[in-house]
Amino acid sequence: MSPKSEKSHLVSYTLPKADMHTHISLALSPEQLLKKIQLNRTTLDLDFLLHKPRRYYSNLWSFHAETYEKLRGSVEAYELAIVTQTYLERIAKEGAIYAEISNSFRDPAVFEMQMDAVVEGIKAAKENTGIEARIVVTSLRDYGSSKAEKAAKHLVGYKNPYVTGFGLVGYERADSLQEYKTALNIAWHEAGLGIAPHVAEQDIVNAIDFFKCYP
């Protein structure tokens, strides 16, 4: 490349892309996270943004545990709508035409309020950029299989056209994936959802167990 040639992008913005895995409550932009830090609405500090080594962890679980714990209580419904919209519009500018985002099940009333906000963000982003997005509802394995079954049962009666999948997230060594067979069966057979659990991010045994408990 000659000195006068334009430097090519590391990523082609013309190639259509799909983002298949995003925890939307953690998808804040640097500007949104900085605002939270300034308002003391998260215990993450400015050093997390300014120094790259601060954002590296010895393992995936340590990263998930710290960032989720420090941000989970600081995302209100209206913020989720904004985070969803700005995240989708940002990746659309980079060539994304589809995104699959996840939101965790919690108290039913809070969950549905948050889901309404996420859907509004999806609609706004599509209106502005044309990007499509769907939602995978997840249950945190740290809370056990009974919480996952409660989530799956709730989704049987919760009709939201943007919800297309059910998944499991969290510490894979907390228990056996086979303990979630009932929840996965409810989500698949009764709620009519696809199955998208995290497996083998931390423990390869989960990949084997997945084939034993897949509906």
pLDDT in tens, 70-108: 665 556 788 899 999 999 999 999 999 999 999 999 889
- Output the CA–CA distances (angstroms, integers) from residue 31 to 24, 111, 121, in the order listed: 16, 26, 18
Domain-embedded: residue 73: yes
Residue 130 pLDDT > 80, yes or no?
A: yes
pTM, 2 dp: 0.84
- End-to-end Cα distance, the chain: 53
**Which range, 29-38, 53-62, 143-152, is most confident?**
143-152
**Which range, 24-33, 117-126, 199-208, is most confident?**
117-126
Provide the sign of the torsion angle of the four alpha carbons 61, 67, 72, 73, taken in this order.
Answer: positive
Domain-embedded: residue 43: no
- With bands split at pLDDT 50, 70 and 90, how would you rate the model's confidence at 8? low
- With bands split at pLDDT 50, 70 and 90, how would you rate the model's confidence at 135? very high
| 201 included as an active-site residue | yes
Domain-embedded: residue 209: yes
Distance CA 93, CA 141 (A): 34
Which of these, 84, 88, 80, 86, lies nearest to 112 by C-alpha position?
A: 80
What's the mean pLDDT in 197-209?
Answer: 79
Domain-embedded: residue 38: no
Q: What pLDDT score was predicted for residue 132?
A: 97
* Residues in CB range of 175: below 8 A, 6 or more apart: 141, 144, 145
CB atoms within 10 A of CB 131: 19
Residue 13 pLDDT > 70, yes or no?
A: no
Residue 1 pLDDT > 60, yes or no?
A: no
Domain-embedded: residue 144: yes
* Residues in CB range of 126: below 8 A, 6 or more apart: 88, 132, 133
Q: How many CA atoms lie within 13 A of 63 on its CB side?
A: 12
What's the mean pLDDT in 179-203?
Answer: 90
Please pick, among 112, 120, 132, 201, the residue that the annotation labels catalytic: 201
Residue 174 pLDDT > 90, yes or no?
A: no
DSSP secondary structure code for residue 95 in this structure = T
Residue range of the domain that includes 174: 19-28+60-213
Number of domains in the chain: 1
Give the chain's mean pLDDT.
Answer: 86
Distance CA 188, CA 212 (A): 15
Domain-embedded: residue 129: yes
Domain-embedded: residue 3: no
Residue written as token pair 């943004």: 49
- With bands split at pLDDT 50, 70 and 90, how would you rate the model's confidence at 46? confident
Residue 40 pLDDT > 50, yes or no?
A: yes
Q: CA angle 168-48-106, nearest 5°?
A: 25
Q: What pLDDT score was predicted for residue 74?
A: 52
The phi, psi pair for 106, rounded to 5°, reads: -145, -150
Q: Which CATH number fits the domain that encloses residue 194?
A: 3.20.20.140
Q: CA angle 59-64-66, nearest 5°?
A: 100
Domain-embedded: residue 163: yes
Higher pLDDT, 42 or 70: 42
